[in-house]
Amino acid sequence: MNPLERMRIFTRVAELASFTQAADTLGLPKASTSTAVQQLETQLGTRLLHRTTRRVQLTQDGQAYYERCKDLLADLDELQAMFQHREGGLQGRVRIDMSTGMARNVVVPRLPELLARHPALELELSSTERRVDLVREGFDCVLRTGAVVDASLVARPLGQARQVNCVSPGYLRQHGTPQSLDDLGHHRLVHFVNTLGARATGFEAVVDGALLVLPMPGAITVNNAEAYMASCLAGLGIIQVPRLGVVDLLARGELVEVLPQHTAPPMPLTLMYATRRHLPRRVRVVMDWLAAVVAEHLAAETAAG
Kindly report the backbone phi and psi dihedral angles of residue 35, in degrees, each rounded to the nearest multiple of 5, phi listed first. Answer: -65, -40
**Residue 256 covered by a domain:** yes
pTM over cut 0.75? no
| Same domain flag for 171 and 224 | yes
Q: What is residue 128's predicted lDDT score, i.e. its pLDDT?
A: 73
> How many Cα atoms are found within 13 Å in the side-chain-facing hemisphere of 296?
10
- Our count of domains for the chain comes to 3
Which contiguous run of DSSP H or E holds residue 125? strand 121-126
| Same domain flag for 168 and 140 | no
Q: What is residue 252's predicted lDDT score, i.e. its pLDDT?
A: 95
**What domain range includes position 276?**
92-157+268-304
> How many Cα atoms are found within 13 Å in the side-chain-facing hemisphere of 294?
26
Q: Cα–Cα distance between 262 and 112 in angstroms, integer?
A: 37
Least confident of 63-77, 235-249, 253-267: 63-77
pLDDT band at 68 (very low <50, low <70, confident <90, very high): confident
**Residue 122 covered by a domain:** yes
Q: What is residue 67's predicted lDDT score, i.e. its pLDDT?
A: 84
| Same domain flag for 51 and 68 | yes
| Same domain flag for 276 and 222 | no
| Same domain flag for 56 and 180 | no
Give 261's contacts (C-beta < 8 A, 6+ positions apart): none
| Same domain flag for 59 and 7 | yes
Q: What is the average pLDDT across 44-60? A: 88
Q: What is residue 258's predicted lDDT score, i.e. its pLDDT?
A: 97
Better-scored residue on pLDDT, 229 or 80: 229
**Residue 206 covered by a domain:** yes
| Same domain flag for 42 and 131 | no
Q: What is residue 89's predicted lDDT score, i.e. its pLDDT?
A: 64
Q: What is the average pLDDT across 30-52? A: 91
Task: Give me the CATH number covering residue 257.
Answer: 3.40.190.10
Of 35, 50, 80, the one marking the end of a domain is: 80
**Residue 102 covered by a domain:** yes
Q: What is residue 82's predicted lDDT score, i.e. its pLDDT?
A: 61
| Same domain flag for 147 and 176 | no
**Residue 85 covered by a domain:** no
| Same domain flag for 17 and 44 | yes
| Same domain flag for 27 and 51 | yes
Which contiguous run of DSSP H or E holds residue 48? none
Task: Give me the CATH number covering residue 74.
Answer: 1.10.10.10
Q: Which residues pair with 271 in a beta bridge?
A: 143, 156
Q: Cα–Cα distance between 9 and 107 in angstroms, integer?
A: 33
pLDDT band at 87 (very low <50, low <70, confident <90, very high): low
**Residue 228 covered by a domain:** yes
**Residue 86 covered by a domain:** no
| Same domain flag for 261 and 272 | no
**Residue 131 covered by a domain:** yes
60 has pLDDT over 50 = yes
Q: What is residue 88's predicted lDDT score, i.e. its pLDDT?
A: 47
| Same domain flag for 205 and 249 | yes
Q: What is the average pLDDT across 212-226? A: 92
